[in-house]
Amino acid sequence: MSHELTFQEEEYSRQLDFALWRRILRHAGRYWKQLLALSGAGLTVATVDVMLPLVTAWIIDEAMASGVTPRLWTYVVLYFGLCALLCSCIWLFIELAGQTSTGIAYDLRRKGFRRLQELSFSYFDVRPVGWLVTRLTSDVTKLSSLMPWFTLDLVWGSFLVLGITGAMFWLNWQLALAVLVIVPPLSIASVYFQKRLLASSRNMRRTNSMITASFSESISGVRTTKALVREEENLNEFRSLSTAMHQHCLRNALQSAVYLPIVVTLGSLGVGLALWRGGVDVLGPDSTLTLGVLIAFMQYAALFHMPIEELARRFTDLQAAQAAAERIQTLLDTEPEIQDSAEVRSRMAATAPHQAAGASNLAEDGCADTVRRIEFRNVSFWYKPDEPVLRSFNLTVEPGETIALVGATGGGKSTIVSLLARFYEPQEGEILIDDTDYRERSLHWWQSNLGIVLQSPVLFTGTIRENIRYGRLDASDAEIEAAARLVNAETFIRELDGGYEFDVGEMGSRLSTGQRQLMSLARAVLADPRVFILDEATSSVDTETEQLIQDGINKVLSGRISFVIAHRLSTIRAASRILVIDGGEVVEQGSHDELIRERGRYHDLYVGQFARQREAERLSGGEETGMAGA
């Protein structure tokens, strides 16, 4: 529960967490050269920024005192040289910052993606997909673009403040003190408003993402909405979201509208102070200040607010990105709940050289490469601690057996096969493969022995052929077509535009669920695994096609261990053993004939379904007979 909350509302910590940022900075470690160069560029720009008013002062004073002299020309050349240096530095840091941020983004995405692939099912049970996608997209973008610019501005800003202050004191300390009067109010105003602006833009962003979610829900759920006549309610919800958005935007605009004039006014105040104090000095009888120096002071005073404002902004950015940093770091730190134990890993390391030399017929974890018997021994399992799904479940599967699991929805059938596939591990008891607990075997070895077809299979963007080949990457075209033929998928593939080269669309969206199931079945057949798991694998295939593929499937299943969960009981009559599962327990088991004879639960289920099917056939068949008679 505590999990779910954090996914809905993003929490922002108030204080900067330096330990976290140090860890985040480590991800940028590969780019230390770029970051160093960026700091160099920042330092150079700050120096040039301090130099330009000085050179201006020299030019003015030289021209006023002695007219056009060679020295004046030197100053002018120096001035343009500094301008050119400034331009090249700006070009350099835009280039460097771009390189660094794309590099860091690439690294973080790759690390995050890999971690997501390693994580166990239980991790995804409690996290919405959208939340995970945001981690890899906007959080990464936020962090990676922040790092180089923060580095640059930190160096540039601090050196510019120091440089200007130093230069002013060097020129005239009394005037410097007068100008510095604006610094405290400027800093206070900057920090105050940057915080307010941060809060209001956060609200804007949050509301915006709610609007996006509302858009996409209403688009993908448009049929349901219409069917339930919910258009009006949805519109009202959307209207109130839009109103909130409007208010947040207004507040943000208002804050900017107040903040900018304040900064500009304070800056002008500094210039005014310099002009007033200095002007008196320049015009005074015993003038200690030249006109050039006065102008330099005014430029410094006008410049002063820039680094202060920029530093305040970057630190608020840092604070704003802290939540993103926390989320990314937490994702990268999450260890998969299910992974090979240290002992298995060391056995695998010891076996690897033998395998590479081709001198081993053992599995990659150094144990025998066979799957003969599978045993569930006193297995207990729950998704949530207070809701046990399986309690002391026992099942022994002998070589070549086909085990059918039947029973009402929610009985625990899918859970049993998920445990078998080690998508989850039992909390109590063991699952044994040839008498070895599967936690003592390599996860990769075990899962590569399984052919799993689920009720809603996932296809990937690409052609029919590519999708079937996913089962075994080195399969030939002929093998792919043979697999498709075996599961009777070729009939529909031939009718598609382009046949095997037909593009299935994003996640197979251009195929029906039944067609996707056939594809997934062909994929599993091609992989030729030792153990098959079919969880309602043909539930969306029409009855006739199902009858047609039944022979093919039975041929594939014969001689290997398989687990079949089928909605239509007619498809599992040939199973070696049928288990009726209810409330996580086996309430009946035996062959089809035995269970029918017993006249228990299975008998009732079967007769009920059979009667319904007969009724459906009678209705549709009746029509046909009528037509034929006419």
Ligand X SMILES: Nc1ncnc2c1ncn2[C@@H]1O[C@H](COP(=O)(O)OP(=O)(O)O)[C@@H](O)[C@H]1O
Residue ranges that bind ligand X, judged by CB under 6 A: 125, 383, 389, 409-415
CB of 395 to ligand X, least distance (A): 15
The helix/strand/coil state of 394 is strand
- Name, in order, each residue with C-beta under 8 angstroms of 324's C-beta and a sequence gap of 6 or more: 138, 139, 142, 143
Q: What are phi and psi of 434, to 5 degrees?
A: 45, 50
User: Which residue lies nearer to Mg ion by CB, 252 or 414?
Assistant: 414
Give me the half-sphere count of Cα atoms (radius 13 Å) on the Cβ side of residue 319. 19
C-beta closer to ligand X: residue 413 or 465: 413
List beta partners, residue 585: 582
Given Mg ion, ligand X, none, residue 130, with its beta carbon under 5 to 8 Å by kind, binds: none
- Partner residues linked to 532 by β-bridges: 451, 562
- Alpha-carbon distances of 167 from 57, 163, 299, rounded to whole Å: 12, 6, 12
Can you tell me whether residue 569 is helix, strand or coil?
helix
383 binds, among Mg ion, ligand X, none (CB under 5 to 8 A by kind): ligand X
Nearest to Mg ion by Cβ — which residue?
A: 414
Tell me how far, at minimum, the Cβ of 586 lies from ligand X, in Å.
Answer: 12
Nearer to ligand X, 289 or 450 (CB): 450
In the complex with Mg ion, which residue's Cβ is closer, 374 or 565?
A: 565
Torsion angles phi and psi, residue 394, rounded to 5: -125, 140
Residues of this chain that interact with Mg ion (CB under 5 A) are 414
Adjacency order of strands within the sheet including 531-535: 450-453, 531-535, 561-565, 402-406, 577-582, 585-590
Q: What's the closest the beta carbon of residue 154 comes to ligand X, in angstroms?
A: 46
Quick one: DSSP state of residue 340? -
With CB cut-offs between 5 and 8 Å by kind, which of Mg ion, ligand X, none does residue 562 bind? none
What is the C-alpha separation between 319 and 325, in angstroms, rounded? 10
Among ligand X, Mg ion, none, residue 411 binds (CB under 5-8 Å by kind): ligand X
Please say whether the beta carbons of 271 and 300 come within 8 A. no
Quote the least distance from Cβ 415 to Mg ion, whole Å. 8
Nearer to Mg ion by C-beta: 414 or 449?
Answer: 414
> What, of ligand X, Mg ion, none, does residue 469 touch, CB below 5 to 8 Å by kind?
none
Residue 383 Cβ, how far from Mg ion at the closest point, in Å?
13
Select the binding partner of residue 316 from ligand X, Mg ion, none (C-beta < 5 to 8 A, by kind): none
Q: Please identify, using beta-carbon distances, which residue of 11 and 387 lies nearer to ligand X.
A: 387
Contacts of 154 (CB under 8 A, 6+ apart): 42, 311, 314
> Residue 125: which of Mg ion, ligand X, none does it interact with, CB under 5 to 8 A by kind?
ligand X
Least separation in angstroms between CB 413 and Mg ion: 5
Q: Which tokens belong to 119? A: 């994580």
Backbone angles phi, psi at 95, to 5 degrees: -60, -50
Minimum gap (Å) between residue 414 Cβ and Mg ion: 3
Residue number, 442 or 539, with CB nearest to Mg ion: 539
CB of 451 to Mg ion, least distance (A): 18
CA distances from 352 to 187, 359, 364 (A): 62, 10, 7
Geometric angle at alpha carbon 628, from 622 and 630, rounded to 5° = 105
Q: How far is the CB of 412 from ligand X (least distance, A)?
A: 4
DSSP secondary structure code for residue 128 in this structure: -
Q: By C-beta, is 307 or 412 nearer to ligand X?
A: 412
| Residue that is written with structure tokens 């305040």 in the block | 312
Q: Which does 402 bind (CB under 5 to 8 A by kind): Mg ion, ligand X, none?
A: none
Integer Cα distance of 340 and 348 in angstroms: 10
Comparison of 414 and 545: residue with beta carbon closer to ligand X: 414
Selection from ligand X, Mg ion, none that 470 binds (CB < 5 to 8 A by kind) is none
